[in-house]
Structure 1
Amino acid sequence: MSGNNKQESRLGKGLSALLGDIQTIGPERKPVGYINKEIAGSKPEQDYGDVLRIPVDLIEPNPYQPRMAFDNEALEELADSIRTFGLIQPISVRKLKNGRYQIISGERRFKACKRAGMDIIPAYIRTADDQGMLEMAIVENIQRQDLDPIEVAMSYQRLMDECNLTQEMMAQRVGKKRASVANYLRLLKLPTKVQHDLKT
Protein backbone atom coordinates (compact mmCIF):
# COMPACT_ATOMS: atom_id res chain seq x y z
CA MET A 1 0.00 0.00 0.00
CA SER A 2 2.78 2.45 0.96
CA GLY A 3 4.57 1.67 -2.31
CA ASN A 4 1.45 2.50 -4.31
CA ASN A 5 0.98 5.75 -2.40
CA LYS A 6 4.56 6.78 -3.14
CA GLN A 7 4.09 5.94 -6.81
CA GLU A 8 0.87 7.97 -6.98
CA SER A 9 2.59 10.86 -5.22
CA ARG A 10 5.43 10.86 -7.74
CA LEU A 11 2.97 10.68 -10.62
CA GLY A 12 0.94 13.56 -9.23
CA LYS A 13 4.02 15.74 -8.88
CA GLY A 14 5.09 14.85 -12.40
CA LEU A 15 1.72 15.82 -13.84
CA SER A 16 1.72 19.08 -11.92
CA ALA A 17 5.13 19.96 -13.25
CA LEU A 18 4.16 19.05 -16.82
CA LEU A 19 0.72 20.58 -17.00
CA GLY A 20 1.22 23.72 -14.93
CA ASP A 21 -1.25 25.66 -12.82
CA ILE A 22 -4.67 26.62 -14.10
CA GLN A 23 -5.12 30.35 -14.55
CA THR A 24 -8.28 32.27 -13.87
CA ILE A 25 -9.59 34.03 -16.96
CA GLY A 26 -12.75 35.74 -18.11
CA PRO A 27 -14.76 38.79 -17.07
CA GLU A 28 -15.67 39.63 -13.50
CA ARG A 29 -19.05 38.25 -12.45
CA LYS A 30 -21.94 40.53 -11.57
CA PRO A 31 -22.92 40.50 -7.87
CA VAL A 32 -25.79 38.29 -6.80
CA GLY A 33 -27.64 41.39 -5.66
CA TYR A 34 -28.13 42.20 -9.33
CA ILE A 35 -30.80 39.50 -9.52
CA ASN A 36 -33.96 41.52 -9.98
CA LYS A 37 -36.25 39.70 -12.38
CA GLU A 38 -38.33 36.56 -12.23
CA ILE A 39 -39.98 34.62 -15.03
CA ALA A 40 -42.48 31.82 -15.31
CA GLY A 41 -41.80 31.14 -18.99
CA SER A 42 -39.99 32.75 -21.88
CA LYS A 43 -39.08 36.44 -21.84
CA PRO A 44 -38.31 39.03 -24.55
CA GLU A 45 -34.91 39.36 -26.19
CA GLN A 46 -33.93 42.34 -24.01
CA ASP A 47 -33.43 39.93 -21.10
CA TYR A 48 -30.18 38.70 -22.65
CA GLY A 49 -27.32 39.65 -20.36
CA ASP A 50 -29.59 40.02 -17.32
CA VAL A 51 -29.86 37.72 -14.32
CA LEU A 52 -33.22 35.98 -14.12
CA ARG A 53 -34.85 33.47 -11.79
CA ILE A 54 -35.77 30.54 -14.00
CA PRO A 55 -37.95 27.51 -13.15
CA VAL A 56 -35.80 24.37 -13.10
CA ASP A 57 -38.13 22.54 -15.48
CA LEU A 58 -37.27 25.09 -18.19
CA ILE A 59 -33.52 24.41 -17.95
CA GLU A 60 -31.72 21.78 -20.04
CA PRO A 61 -28.19 20.38 -19.50
CA ASN A 62 -25.24 21.47 -21.60
CA PRO A 63 -24.64 18.98 -24.44
CA TYR A 64 -21.00 20.11 -24.49
CA GLN A 65 -20.36 19.46 -20.79
CA PRO A 66 -16.73 18.29 -20.50
CA ARG A 67 -17.18 16.69 -17.08
CA MET A 68 -17.97 13.01 -17.57
CA ALA A 69 -18.88 12.21 -13.96
CA PHE A 70 -20.15 14.17 -10.96
CA ASP A 71 -19.08 13.12 -7.47
CA ASN A 72 -22.22 12.17 -5.57
CA GLU A 73 -20.85 13.08 -2.13
CA ALA A 74 -19.57 16.45 -3.34
CA LEU A 75 -22.95 17.18 -4.93
CA GLU A 76 -24.73 16.42 -1.66
CA GLU A 77 -22.34 18.67 0.26
CA LEU A 78 -22.99 21.49 -2.21
CA ALA A 79 -26.74 20.87 -1.92
CA ASP A 80 -26.48 21.17 1.87
CA SER A 81 -24.63 24.46 1.48
CA ILE A 82 -27.27 25.75 -0.92
CA ARG A 83 -30.04 24.79 1.52
CA THR A 84 -28.28 26.87 4.17
CA PHE A 85 -26.95 29.86 2.23
CA GLY A 86 -28.75 29.72 -1.12
CA LEU A 87 -26.99 29.71 -4.49
CA ILE A 88 -24.25 32.33 -4.20
CA GLN A 89 -23.08 32.16 -7.81
CA PRO A 90 -25.84 31.96 -10.48
CA ILE A 91 -25.46 29.54 -13.36
CA SER A 92 -25.11 30.78 -16.96
CA VAL A 93 -27.61 29.79 -19.65
CA ARG A 94 -28.58 30.64 -23.20
CA LYS A 95 -32.15 31.06 -24.37
CA LEU A 96 -33.44 28.57 -26.94
CA LYS A 97 -35.95 29.33 -29.68
CA ASN A 98 -38.57 27.16 -27.97
CA GLY A 99 -38.51 29.39 -24.87
CA ARG A 100 -36.44 26.97 -22.80
CA TYR A 101 -32.91 27.55 -21.51
CA GLN A 102 -29.72 25.54 -21.94
CA ILE A 103 -26.88 25.55 -19.43
CA ILE A 104 -23.64 27.13 -20.57
CA SER A 105 -21.82 26.73 -17.27
CA GLY A 106 -22.80 25.69 -13.78
CA GLU A 107 -24.25 22.23 -14.36
CA ARG A 108 -22.85 21.02 -11.05
CA ARG A 109 -24.57 23.90 -9.26
CA PHE A 110 -27.76 23.16 -11.19
CA LYS A 111 -27.75 19.52 -10.09
CA ALA A 112 -27.09 20.54 -6.49
CA CYS A 113 -29.93 23.08 -6.58
CA LYS A 114 -32.32 20.36 -7.71
CA ARG A 115 -31.14 18.14 -4.86
CA ALA A 116 -31.67 21.03 -2.48
CA GLY A 117 -35.28 21.22 -3.62
CA MET A 118 -35.10 24.56 -5.40
CA ASP A 119 -37.88 25.14 -7.94
CA ILE A 120 -36.41 28.36 -9.33
CA ILE A 121 -32.72 29.06 -10.00
CA PRO A 122 -30.94 32.40 -10.61
CA ALA A 123 -29.13 32.42 -13.95
CA TYR A 124 -27.17 34.80 -16.16
CA ILE A 125 -28.68 34.96 -19.64
CA ARG A 126 -25.95 35.02 -22.26
CA THR A 127 -25.82 34.82 -26.04
CA ALA A 128 -23.74 31.93 -27.37
CA ASP A 129 -23.57 29.77 -30.47
CA ASP A 130 -22.55 26.12 -30.24
CA GLN A 131 -18.84 26.95 -30.43
CA GLY A 132 -19.24 29.55 -27.71
CA MET A 133 -21.13 27.03 -25.58
CA LEU A 134 -18.28 24.55 -25.88
CA GLU A 135 -15.61 27.14 -25.14
CA MET A 136 -17.35 28.61 -22.10
CA ALA A 137 -18.19 25.19 -20.65
CA ILE A 138 -14.60 24.04 -20.97
CA VAL A 139 -13.06 27.22 -19.56
CA GLU A 140 -15.54 27.39 -16.66
CA ASN A 141 -14.89 23.78 -15.69
CA ILE A 142 -11.14 24.04 -16.02
CA GLN A 143 -10.88 27.07 -13.75
CA ARG A 144 -13.61 26.18 -11.24
CA GLN A 145 -14.42 22.47 -11.20
CA ASP A 146 -11.04 20.69 -11.04
CA LEU A 147 -11.48 18.41 -14.02
CA ASP A 148 -9.19 15.40 -13.99
CA PRO A 149 -6.25 15.52 -16.46
CA ILE A 150 -7.92 13.23 -19.00
CA GLU A 151 -11.14 15.27 -19.00
CA VAL A 152 -9.08 18.41 -19.59
CA ALA A 153 -7.15 16.74 -22.40
CA MET A 154 -10.33 15.47 -24.06
CA SER A 155 -11.91 18.91 -23.73
CA TYR A 156 -8.91 20.54 -25.39
CA GLN A 157 -8.95 18.00 -28.20
CA ARG A 158 -12.67 18.39 -28.80
CA LEU A 159 -12.49 22.17 -28.93
CA MET A 160 -9.51 22.04 -31.28
CA ASP A 161 -11.27 19.58 -33.57
CA GLU A 162 -14.64 21.32 -33.67
CA CYS A 163 -13.27 24.85 -33.95
CA ASN A 164 -10.22 24.05 -36.09
CA LEU A 165 -7.78 25.48 -33.55
CA THR A 166 -4.02 25.03 -33.34
CA GLN A 167 -2.35 24.29 -30.01
CA GLU A 168 -1.23 27.92 -29.85
CA MET A 169 -4.79 29.17 -30.41
CA MET A 170 -6.08 26.69 -27.83
CA ALA A 171 -3.54 27.95 -25.29
CA GLN A 172 -4.70 31.53 -25.84
CA ARG A 173 -8.33 30.47 -25.34
CA VAL A 174 -7.68 28.96 -21.91
CA GLY A 175 -4.89 31.26 -20.72
CA LYS A 176 -2.17 28.63 -20.60
CA LYS A 177 1.18 28.11 -22.28
CA ARG A 178 1.22 26.12 -25.51
CA ALA A 179 3.59 23.57 -23.95
CA SER A 180 1.07 22.89 -21.18
CA VAL A 181 -1.71 22.28 -23.72
CA ALA A 182 0.60 19.98 -25.69
CA ASN A 183 1.42 17.98 -22.56
CA TYR A 184 -2.28 17.52 -21.79
CA LEU A 185 -2.92 16.30 -25.32
CA ARG A 186 -0.09 13.76 -25.02
CA LEU A 187 -2.03 12.09 -22.20
CA LEU A 188 -4.57 10.91 -24.78
CA LYS A 189 -1.84 8.78 -26.38
CA LEU A 190 -1.24 6.84 -23.17
CA PRO A 191 -2.55 3.26 -22.84
CA THR A 192 -6.21 3.06 -21.79
CA LYS A 193 -5.35 1.60 -18.37
CA VAL A 194 -2.98 4.45 -17.59
CA GLN A 195 -5.61 6.99 -18.66
CA HIS A 196 -8.12 5.27 -16.38
CA ASP A 197 -5.68 5.47 -13.46
CA LEU A 198 -5.32 9.21 -14.04
CA LYS A 199 -9.10 9.59 -13.79
CA THR A 200 -9.41 7.85 -10.41
Structure 2
Amino acid sequence: MAKATKKQALGRGLSALLKDPENDIQSASDKNADKVVGNIVELDLSSIEVNPFQPRSNFNDEALQELASSIRELGVIQPITVRKLDFNQYQLVSGERRFRASKLVGLETIPAYIRIANDQESLEMALVENIQRQDLDPIEIALSYQRLIDEIQLTQEKMSERVGKKRSTITNYLRLLRLDPIIQTGIRDGFVSMGHGRALVNIEEKDDQIALYEKIVGENLSVRNTEKAVKEYQEKKSGSGQEPSTETKEQKKSKISPEFITKSVTRFTDYLDVKVDIKATEKGKGKITIPFHSQEEFNRLKKLITGE
Protein backbone atom coordinates (compact mmCIF):
# COMPACT_ATOMS: atom_id res chain seq x y z
CA MET A 1 0.00 0.00 0.00
CA ALA A 2 2.86 2.37 0.82
CA LYS A 3 4.45 1.74 -2.58
CA ALA A 4 1.18 2.49 -4.37
CA THR A 5 0.76 5.75 -2.42
CA LYS A 6 4.32 6.79 -3.23
CA LYS A 7 3.80 6.01 -6.94
CA GLN A 8 0.56 8.01 -7.01
CA ALA A 9 2.23 10.95 -5.29
CA LEU A 10 5.02 10.84 -7.88
CA GLY A 11 2.43 10.94 -10.62
CA ARG A 12 0.85 14.05 -9.11
CA GLY A 13 4.28 15.67 -8.84
CA LEU A 14 4.99 15.03 -12.53
CA SER A 15 1.55 16.37 -13.38
CA ALA A 16 2.43 19.64 -11.67
CA LEU A 17 5.68 19.74 -13.65
CA LEU A 18 3.74 19.43 -16.92
CA LYS A 19 1.44 22.30 -15.95
CA ASP A 20 4.40 24.64 -15.58
CA PRO A 21 4.70 26.67 -18.85
CA GLU A 22 8.45 26.82 -18.36
CA ASN A 23 8.60 23.02 -18.62
CA ASP A 24 6.55 22.60 -21.79
CA ILE A 25 8.01 19.34 -23.13
CA GLN A 26 7.66 18.93 -26.90
CA SER A 27 10.35 16.36 -27.69
CA ALA A 28 12.28 13.60 -25.97
CA SER A 29 15.38 15.84 -25.91
CA ASP A 30 13.71 18.69 -23.95
CA LYS A 31 14.64 19.43 -20.35
CA ASN A 32 12.87 17.14 -17.84
CA ALA A 33 11.53 14.96 -20.68
CA ASP A 34 13.24 11.93 -19.13
CA LYS A 35 11.23 12.51 -15.92
CA VAL A 36 7.93 12.38 -17.77
CA VAL A 37 8.15 10.25 -20.92
CA GLY A 38 7.63 6.59 -20.01
CA ASN A 39 6.54 7.37 -16.45
CA ILE A 40 3.05 7.26 -14.97
CA VAL A 41 1.56 10.74 -14.73
CA GLU A 42 -1.78 11.81 -13.25
CA LEU A 43 -3.46 13.82 -16.02
CA ASP A 44 -6.69 15.81 -15.93
CA LEU A 45 -9.34 14.00 -17.95
CA SER A 46 -10.35 17.38 -19.36
CA SER A 47 -6.90 17.77 -20.94
CA ILE A 48 -7.22 14.54 -22.96
CA GLU A 49 -9.01 14.14 -26.30
CA VAL A 50 -9.99 10.86 -27.92
CA ASN A 51 -7.84 9.45 -30.69
CA PRO A 52 -9.27 10.04 -34.20
CA PHE A 53 -7.12 7.10 -35.33
CA GLN A 54 -8.86 4.71 -32.92
CA PRO A 55 -9.70 1.60 -34.99
CA ARG A 56 -12.23 0.41 -32.44
CA SER A 57 -15.75 1.69 -33.08
CA ASN A 58 -17.93 -0.57 -30.90
CA PHE A 59 -18.05 -0.11 -27.13
CA ASN A 60 -20.41 -2.45 -25.30
CA ASP A 61 -22.44 -0.35 -22.84
CA GLU A 62 -22.88 -3.16 -20.31
CA ALA A 63 -19.15 -3.97 -20.28
CA LEU A 64 -18.37 -0.26 -19.96
CA GLN A 65 -20.66 0.02 -16.91
CA GLU A 66 -18.96 -3.02 -15.35
CA LEU A 67 -15.55 -1.42 -15.88
CA ALA A 68 -16.86 1.83 -14.39
CA SER A 69 -18.01 -0.06 -11.28
CA SER A 70 -14.57 -1.67 -10.95
CA ILE A 71 -12.86 1.72 -11.30
CA ARG A 72 -15.20 3.21 -8.70
CA GLU A 73 -14.10 0.52 -6.24
CA LEU A 74 -10.43 -0.01 -7.12
CA GLY A 75 -9.41 2.96 -9.26
CA VAL A 76 -7.71 2.75 -12.67
CA ILE A 77 -5.26 -0.14 -12.29
CA GLN A 78 -3.76 -0.07 -15.79
CA PRO A 79 -2.68 3.42 -16.97
CA ILE A 80 -3.80 4.69 -20.36
CA THR A 81 -1.27 5.85 -22.99
CA VAL A 82 -1.39 9.34 -24.48
CA ARG A 83 0.71 11.48 -26.78
CA LYS A 84 1.46 15.12 -26.11
CA LEU A 85 -0.19 17.56 -28.52
CA ASP A 86 0.48 20.96 -26.97
CA PHE A 87 0.89 22.58 -23.58
CA ASN A 88 -1.27 20.53 -21.18
CA GLN A 89 -3.10 18.93 -24.13
CA TYR A 90 -2.96 15.21 -24.86
CA GLN A 91 -4.49 12.63 -27.18
CA LEU A 92 -5.33 9.02 -26.40
CA VAL A 93 -3.20 6.33 -28.01
CA SER A 94 -4.73 3.40 -26.11
CA GLY A 95 -7.13 2.92 -23.22
CA GLU A 96 -10.33 4.53 -24.49
CA ARG A 97 -12.54 2.15 -22.47
CA ARG A 98 -10.73 3.13 -19.26
CA PHE A 99 -10.96 6.79 -20.29
CA ARG A 100 -14.71 6.55 -20.94
CA ALA A 101 -15.40 4.53 -17.79
CA SER A 102 -13.42 7.03 -15.66
CA LYS A 103 -15.59 9.83 -17.02
CA LEU A 104 -18.72 7.84 -16.18
CA VAL A 105 -17.54 7.50 -12.58
CA GLY A 106 -16.81 11.22 -12.39
CA LEU A 107 -13.04 11.03 -11.91
CA GLU A 108 -11.11 14.23 -12.55
CA THR A 109 -7.71 12.64 -13.26
CA ILE A 110 -6.41 9.38 -14.70
CA PRO A 111 -2.96 7.72 -14.61
CA ALA A 112 -1.28 7.84 -18.00
CA TYR A 113 1.95 7.06 -19.83
CA ILE A 114 3.05 9.97 -22.01
CA ARG A 115 4.53 9.42 -25.46
CA ILE A 116 6.05 11.93 -27.88
CA ALA A 117 4.79 10.87 -31.31
CA ASN A 118 3.75 12.31 -34.65
CA ASP A 119 0.44 11.48 -36.33
CA GLN A 120 1.77 8.48 -38.26
CA GLU A 121 3.48 7.02 -35.19
CA SER A 122 0.33 7.61 -33.16
CA LEU A 123 -1.79 5.82 -35.74
CA GLU A 124 0.60 2.87 -35.88
CA MET A 125 0.80 2.62 -32.08
CA ALA A 126 -3.00 2.76 -31.78
CA LEU A 127 -3.54 0.14 -34.47
CA VAL A 128 -0.90 -2.29 -33.21
CA GLU A 129 -2.04 -1.83 -29.60
CA ASN A 130 -5.64 -2.57 -30.53
CA ILE A 131 -4.83 -5.55 -32.74
CA GLN A 132 -3.14 -7.20 -29.77
CA ARG A 133 -6.22 -6.81 -27.57
CA GLN A 134 -8.37 -9.86 -26.86
CA ASP A 135 -11.81 -8.22 -27.08
CA LEU A 136 -11.82 -6.84 -30.62
CA ASP A 137 -14.17 -8.51 -33.08
CA PRO A 138 -12.69 -10.05 -36.27
CA ILE A 139 -13.88 -7.21 -38.51
CA GLU A 140 -12.28 -4.56 -36.29
CA ILE A 141 -9.03 -6.51 -36.45
CA ALA A 142 -9.31 -6.84 -40.23
CA LEU A 143 -9.94 -3.10 -40.61
CA SER A 144 -6.91 -2.36 -38.42
CA TYR A 145 -4.72 -4.57 -40.61
CA GLN A 146 -6.06 -2.84 -43.73
CA ARG A 147 -5.31 0.60 -42.27
CA LEU A 148 -1.75 -0.46 -41.50
CA ILE A 149 -1.41 -1.45 -45.15
CA ASP A 150 -3.13 1.65 -46.57
CA GLU A 151 -1.95 4.39 -44.22
CA ILE A 152 1.36 3.14 -42.79
CA GLN A 153 2.36 1.40 -46.03
CA LEU A 154 3.23 -1.84 -44.24
CA THR A 155 3.48 -5.00 -46.32
CA GLN A 156 1.90 -8.14 -44.89
CA GLU A 157 5.40 -9.47 -44.18
CA LYS A 158 6.38 -6.34 -42.20
CA MET A 159 3.03 -6.32 -40.43
CA SER A 160 3.52 -9.95 -39.44
CA GLU A 161 6.76 -8.97 -37.71
CA ARG A 162 5.25 -5.85 -36.09
CA VAL A 163 2.17 -7.48 -34.56
CA GLY A 164 3.64 -10.94 -33.95
CA LYS A 165 1.12 -12.81 -36.10
CA LYS A 166 1.64 -15.29 -38.92
CA ARG A 167 1.17 -13.88 -42.40
CA SER A 168 -1.51 -16.48 -43.09
CA THR A 169 -3.45 -15.28 -40.02
CA ILE A 170 -3.33 -11.69 -41.28
CA THR A 171 -4.47 -12.83 -44.75
CA ASN A 172 -7.44 -14.70 -43.27
CA TYR A 173 -8.59 -11.57 -41.43
CA LEU A 174 -8.16 -9.34 -44.47
CA ARG A 175 -10.21 -11.70 -46.63
CA LEU A 176 -13.22 -11.03 -44.37
CA LEU A 177 -13.38 -7.51 -45.82
CA ARG A 178 -14.43 -9.08 -49.13
CA LEU A 179 -17.71 -10.18 -47.52
CA ASP A 180 -20.89 -8.22 -48.07
CA PRO A 181 -21.28 -5.46 -45.41
CA ILE A 182 -24.40 -7.21 -44.08
CA ILE A 183 -22.33 -10.32 -43.29
CA GLN A 184 -19.52 -8.22 -41.81
CA THR A 185 -22.09 -6.68 -39.46
CA GLY A 186 -23.34 -10.18 -38.61
CA ILE A 187 -19.81 -11.18 -37.58
CA ARG A 188 -19.40 -8.02 -35.49
CA ASP A 189 -22.74 -8.64 -33.76
CA GLY A 190 -21.98 -12.31 -33.11
CA PHE A 191 -24.65 -13.85 -35.35
CA VAL A 192 -21.97 -15.83 -37.17
CA SER A 193 -18.32 -16.59 -36.39
CA MET A 194 -15.12 -15.81 -38.22
CA GLY A 195 -15.12 -19.46 -39.32
CA HIS A 196 -18.46 -18.94 -41.07
CA GLY A 197 -17.06 -15.79 -42.69
CA ARG A 198 -13.94 -17.58 -43.93
CA ALA A 199 -16.18 -20.14 -45.66
CA LEU A 200 -18.55 -17.55 -47.14
CA VAL A 201 -15.73 -15.45 -48.61
CA ASN A 202 -15.16 -18.24 -51.15
CA ILE A 203 -18.45 -17.23 -52.79
CA GLU A 204 -17.81 -14.28 -55.08
CA GLU A 205 -21.39 -13.22 -55.80
CA LYS A 206 -22.61 -10.97 -52.96
CA ASP A 207 -26.28 -11.96 -53.42
CA ASP A 208 -25.33 -15.63 -53.08
CA GLN A 209 -23.22 -14.82 -50.01
CA ILE A 210 -26.22 -13.17 -48.34
CA ALA A 211 -28.57 -16.01 -49.30
CA LEU A 212 -26.31 -18.57 -47.63
CA TYR A 213 -25.70 -16.23 -44.68
CA GLU A 214 -29.46 -16.04 -44.06
CA LYS A 215 -29.61 -19.85 -44.19
CA ILE A 216 -26.75 -20.10 -41.65
CA VAL A 217 -28.53 -17.78 -39.23
CA GLY A 218 -31.99 -19.23 -39.83
CA GLU A 219 -30.94 -22.88 -39.50
CA ASN A 220 -28.08 -22.29 -37.03
CA LEU A 221 -25.60 -24.06 -39.30
CA SER A 222 -22.21 -25.03 -37.87
CA VAL A 223 -18.99 -23.94 -39.55
CA ARG A 224 -18.52 -27.46 -40.93
CA ASN A 225 -22.02 -27.50 -42.42
CA THR A 226 -21.41 -24.04 -43.85
CA GLU A 227 -18.21 -25.23 -45.53
CA LYS A 228 -20.18 -28.17 -46.95
CA ALA A 229 -22.88 -25.81 -48.25
CA VAL A 230 -20.27 -23.59 -49.89
CA LYS A 231 -18.68 -26.61 -51.55
CA GLU A 232 -22.07 -27.73 -52.89
CA TYR A 233 -22.69 -24.20 -54.19
CA GLN A 234 -19.33 -24.15 -55.98
CA GLU A 235 -19.94 -27.57 -57.55
CA LYS A 236 -23.35 -26.47 -58.76
CA LYS A 237 -21.91 -23.21 -60.10
CA SER A 238 -19.16 -25.01 -62.00
CA GLY A 239 -21.68 -27.38 -63.56
CA SER A 240 -20.71 -30.55 -61.64
CA GLY A 241 -23.28 -33.27 -61.84
CA GLN A 242 -24.25 -32.44 -65.43
CA GLU A 243 -23.96 -34.84 -68.33
CA PRO A 244 -20.52 -36.39 -68.81
CA SER A 245 -18.17 -34.32 -70.94
CA THR A 246 -17.61 -35.40 -74.54
CA GLU A 247 -14.15 -33.80 -74.67
CA THR A 248 -11.41 -35.87 -76.23
CA LYS A 249 -8.27 -36.78 -74.30
CA GLU A 250 -6.35 -34.28 -76.40
CA GLN A 251 -8.79 -31.47 -75.49
CA LYS A 252 -8.62 -32.28 -71.80
CA LYS A 253 -4.84 -32.45 -71.94
CA SER A 254 -4.70 -28.98 -73.50
CA LYS A 255 -6.51 -27.60 -70.42
CA ILE A 256 -3.92 -28.97 -68.00
CA SER A 257 -1.65 -26.13 -66.86
CA PRO A 258 2.09 -26.49 -67.39
CA GLU A 259 4.20 -27.15 -64.29
CA PHE A 260 5.65 -23.64 -64.23
CA ILE A 261 2.05 -22.33 -63.90
CA THR A 262 0.86 -24.70 -61.18
CA LYS A 263 3.92 -23.87 -59.08
CA SER A 264 3.25 -20.12 -59.35
CA VAL A 265 -0.52 -19.84 -58.83
CA THR A 266 -0.26 -20.07 -55.05
CA ARG A 267 2.45 -17.42 -54.91
CA PHE A 268 0.34 -15.05 -57.01
CA THR A 269 -2.70 -15.67 -54.81
CA ASP A 270 -0.79 -15.21 -51.54
CA TYR A 271 0.90 -12.03 -52.70
CA LEU A 272 -2.21 -10.35 -54.11
CA ASP A 273 -4.63 -11.86 -51.56
CA VAL A 274 -7.17 -12.69 -54.28
CA LYS A 275 -7.89 -15.94 -56.13
CA VAL A 276 -5.79 -15.54 -59.27
CA ASP A 277 -6.72 -17.64 -62.32
CA ILE A 278 -3.91 -18.55 -64.71
CA LYS A 279 -4.47 -20.44 -67.94
CA ALA A 280 -1.71 -21.45 -70.33
CA THR A 281 -0.84 -23.89 -73.07
CA GLU A 282 2.10 -26.27 -72.99
CA LYS A 283 3.89 -23.82 -75.27
CA GLY A 284 3.73 -21.15 -72.57
CA LYS A 285 1.05 -18.88 -73.98
CA GLY A 286 -1.82 -17.89 -71.72
CA LYS A 287 -3.50 -15.25 -69.60
CA ILE A 288 -3.69 -14.19 -65.94
CA THR A 289 -7.09 -13.15 -64.53
CA ILE A 290 -7.11 -11.06 -61.34
CA PRO A 291 -10.63 -10.37 -59.96
CA PHE A 292 -11.57 -7.37 -57.80
CA HIS A 293 -14.84 -6.42 -56.13
CA SER A 294 -14.55 -2.70 -55.45
CA GLN A 295 -12.60 0.40 -56.42
CA GLU A 296 -10.68 0.16 -53.14
CA GLU A 297 -9.61 -3.40 -53.92
CA PHE A 298 -8.64 -2.39 -57.47
CA ASN A 299 -6.47 0.44 -56.09
CA ARG A 300 -4.87 -1.99 -53.62
CA LEU A 301 -4.01 -4.44 -56.39
CA LYS A 302 -2.72 -1.66 -58.66
CA LYS A 303 -0.41 -0.46 -55.89
CA LEU A 304 0.92 -3.97 -55.28
CA ILE A 305 1.58 -4.55 -58.98
CA THR A 306 2.81 -1.13 -60.10
CA GLY A 307 4.07 0.38 -56.86
CA GLU A 308 1.99 3.52 -57.45
Same fold (TM over 0.5): yes
1:143 aligns to 2:117 (yes or no): no
* Runs of 5+ unmatched residues, structure 1: 1-30
AA aligned to 1:66 is P
Percent identity among equivalent residues? 54
CA–CA distance in structure 1, aligned partners of residues 5 and 128 of structure 2: 21
AA aligned to 1:100 is Q
AA aligned to 1:57 is S
Alignment of 1:1-200 (within 5 A): 34-35=7-8, 36-38=10-12, 39=15, 42=19, 44=23, 45=25, 46=33, 47-200=36-189
Q: Is 1:94–1:128's contact at 8 Å kept on the other side of the alignment?
A: yes
Give the 3 Å change call, closer, same or farther, for CA 54–72 of structure 1 in structure 2.
same
- Residues 45-88 of structure 1 deviation map (CA, whole Å, 9 limit, x = unaligned): 22222211111100000111111111111000000000001100
SS at match of 1:57: helix
* Runs of 5+ unmatched residues, structure 2: 26-32, 190-308
- Residues 153-176 of structure 1 deviation map (CA, whole Å, 9 limit, x = unaligned): 111101111111111111111110
Give the 3 Å change call, closer, same or farther, for CA 66–32 of structure 1 in structure 2.
farther
Deviation at 1:131, TM superposition (A): 2.0
Give the 3 Å change call, closer, same or farther, for CA 143–78 of structure 1 in structure 2.
same
Cα-Cα RMSD:
1.9
**Greater relative CO, 1 or 2 (CA 8 Å, sep 6+):** 1
CA–CA distance in structure 2, aligned partners of residues 164 and 37 of structure 1: 37
AA aligned to 1:71 is N
Q: Is 1:49–1:127's contact at 8 Å kept on the other side of the alignment?
A: no
Q: Is 1:67–1:151's contact at 8 Å kept on the other side of the alignment?
A: yes
TM-score (norm 1): 0.79
Give the 3 Å change call, closer, same or farther, for CA 145–66 of structure 1 in structure 2.
farther
Deviation at 1:143, TM superposition (A): 2.4
Q: Which has the larger radius of gyration?
A: 2
AA aligned to 2:184 is Q
